[in-house]
Structure 1
Amino acid sequence: MKKLVLAAALTAAASTAFAGAPAEPIIEAPVIVEETQSSSGGIILPLLLLIVVAAAVSD
């Protein structure tokens, strides 16, 4: 009977020792912020070129 109680006590002690295992740390990916260009910046040059060509053709 003593061996059965001792085995039960050791089993209970061993199961609680591993019950609170530390969790793996959660590492978040770094956030990358890229600067964007204004959409109007790419259209101004072609519009100016079109105005210059139209003025040259009309003369």
Structure 2
Amino acid sequence: MKKIALAAALSVAATGAFAGGMVEPMMEPAVVVEESSSSSAGIVIPLLLLAVVAVAAAD
């Protein structure tokens, strides 16, 4: 009788583990951070314009 009760308890426990079924894991997309070099371009352009104006004024 104990073996039947143990088998019934194990079968109930085993079916509860598979109740939800297999679910495919969801992975979050990787975050990619791209550094821009526009900050250095923002300084270079005004300096080049200033140099062109200085050369034009010197003539």
TM superposition score normalised by structure 1: 0.47
Higher helix content, 1 or 2: 2
